[in-house]
Structure 1
Amino acid sequence: MASDRKGILSKAKKQLERQSEKLRQKLGHKDDADDVYADMVANFNRQQANDAYDEARKSFEFIDRECHEALPSLYDQRIPFYSATLESHCNTTAIFYGACQSALEQLQLFCSHILSPDTSNEASSTPASANRNAIAAETAAVELPRNALELRVVTHNYEATGDDELNLTRGDQVVVLPFPDPEDAEDEGWLFGRLGECEGMFPENHTQKIDSAA
Structure 2
Amino acid sequence: MNDHDTDVLDTLRGSLDAVTMGTPVEDIVSTGRARRNRRRLATVAAGTVAVAGVALGVASLANPPAGPPATAPGVNAAGEVHVRTVAYTVDSRADGTVQVTWTKQQWFADPAGLEAALRQAGFPVVVKVGEFCAGPGDDLTLVHGTGPGVTDVVRPLPGADATFVFDASALPPGKQLFIGYLSPAQLEVTGGSPGSVERLVPIDTPLTCTTVAPPREGPRAGSEEIPSAKPVKPAK
TM-score interval, smaller chain:
under 0.3
Higher strand share goes to which structure?
A: 2
Higher helix share goes to which structure?
A: 1
Higher relative contact order (CA 8 A, sep 6+): 2
| TM-score normalised by the chain length of structure 1 | 0.28
